[in-house]
Amino acid sequence: MPEAPSARPEYLDYSYDMFLSSIDGEQSEAIRFSDWIDKVEADGRYPFEAARLGAQRPATRVRRTDGTEVELLNFSSYNYLGYGVHPEVIEAAKQALDQYGLGACSSPVQAGTLDLHSQLERNLLDFVGLPGRGVSLFSSGYAVNTGTISAVMKRRHHIVLDKSVHMSILEGAQLSRAKIHYFEHNDPESLRTILEELAPSGRRILVCTEGVFSADGDFGALGEIVPLAKSYGAQVLVDEAHSFGVAGPNGRGVAEAQGVLDQVDYLVITFSKALGGVGGALITTHELARYVNWYARCRMFSCAMDPAVTAGVARAVELLGSSDGDARRKRVLANAAQLRESLSDVDIGPSKSWIVPVIYGPEDRTILLADYLMRRGHEGSVMEFPAVPVGQARIRLFVTSEHTPSQIQRCAAAMHDAAEHFGFVTTDRREEPSQ
């Protein structure tokens, strides 16, 4: 694939955050953003929105927006255990498509609940192993957080968020109209200070954190935060989107790994990561699950999960609990350790998970760096301000059980080459926390 022009173009003076707002009535930010993309595409540099020409495997082929095609080593997909392309998962989806058709075609509280949904709920409860719990299924993982939090929290209640929680948790808190507070990332003492102030009010308190934080790939300090919150009478929501199926001795997440799974009030999981599908679920008490089913507006007024994905995810959950799941978990952990160890001269932050960020710094490197890697057959997931602090833009590498040691070494070599080319080589590696 030929190189694009090397002169520094004007569009590098702009970044994503510059188009987030406007005070005029003409929606000029949308026009300016579209114009920005046009200029990047005209220069042959636009690396985003490239259409995949096949399944999300470690090696894939994509068609860029300019029509050119390229073979990529894929570290941008979070199909962590490869279940998105597992033959038994695909077969289950095909059978469901034949029996139930394309879509559920109704809200889950009306005509949209299929027997498949009930089977998936049973499989999830069997896998998690918490008696007396219930499940609420959502058609997107994002909606689990927005719907759950806005349903169970009200005005004059208090929501206490880790400063690094996902946007879906923040938006759920905002929708609830409860009072929002923030504690320092993974800092139990910061949380304690807030809870000491709030607890005497007698109001409902919800503490929200995550199993694996996807920006840095670090583990949540659940072993400290969950018991602390419970000691002050607070409820706890843990989003295990990137850790369910992978972390813990049985794959039940970081809450299991740190011994607090049975203390979590709202366990949030996503089907688009380790399970390879789309959608998500809340696991909570039977009573609360039933309540959320009816009072989470984004669930009530959305179509239920489609039959093929539901059946495929249900089969993937069964595989998670088998020797196949055990083997895939071991592989992804070994692969992630290999990649972290191989990235010795770039900053990967505090990651000790299967999400390995390569922090390259200034936002004006983003377009050129992503394009540079794609032209050389490599792809990761770009993240920059406001999703991360200014000047800490990064390429996130999602490691899967299906990557080979050779592919991991090739990825590391590509990152070293890019670091030399763009000037972000470093030997300053932060101490990695234990899970």
Q: What is the C-alpha to C-alpha distance for residues 151 and 153, in angstroms, rounded to an integer?
A: 6
Place of tokens 């941008």: 76
* Secondary structure E strands in 326-425: 355-361, 378-379, 381-383, 393-398
Locate 294 and state its tokens. 């009816």
* Residue 137 near residue 121, CB atoms below 8 Å: yes
Q: What is the C-alpha to C-alpha distance for residues 136 and 337, in angstroms, rounded to an integer?
A: 34
- What does DSSP assign to residue 185? T
Nearest to 270 by CA among 386, 146, 183: 146
Phi/psi at 137 (5° precision): -90, 140
Domains 15-74+325-422 and 86-320 belong to one CATH topology: no
Q: pTM of the full predicted structure?
A: 0.93
Per-residue pLDDT of the chain (435 residues; tens, 9 = 90+): 545 545 788 899 888 999 988 888 888 999 999 999 999 999 999 999 999 999 999 999 999 999 999 999 999 999 999 999 999 999 999 999 999 999 999 999 999 999 999 999 999 999 999 999 999 999 999 999 999 999 999 999 999 999 999 999 999 999 999 999 999 999 999 999 999 999 999 999 999 999 999 999 999 999 999 999 999 999 999 999 999 999 999 999 999 999 999 999 999 999 999 999 999 999 999 999 999 999 999 999 999 999 999 999 999 999 999 999 999 999 999 999 999 999 999 999 999 999 999 999 999 999 999 999 999 999 999 999 999 999 999 999 999 999 999 999 999 999 999 999 999 998 654 444 444
Q: Domain extents for the chain?
A: 15-74+325-422, 86-320
- What's the CATH superfamily of 15-74+325-422? Aspartate Aminotransferase, domain 1 (3.90.1150.10)
One of 3.40.640.10, 3.40.50.300, 3.30.70.20, 3.30.1050.10 is the CATH number of 86-320, namely: 3.40.640.10
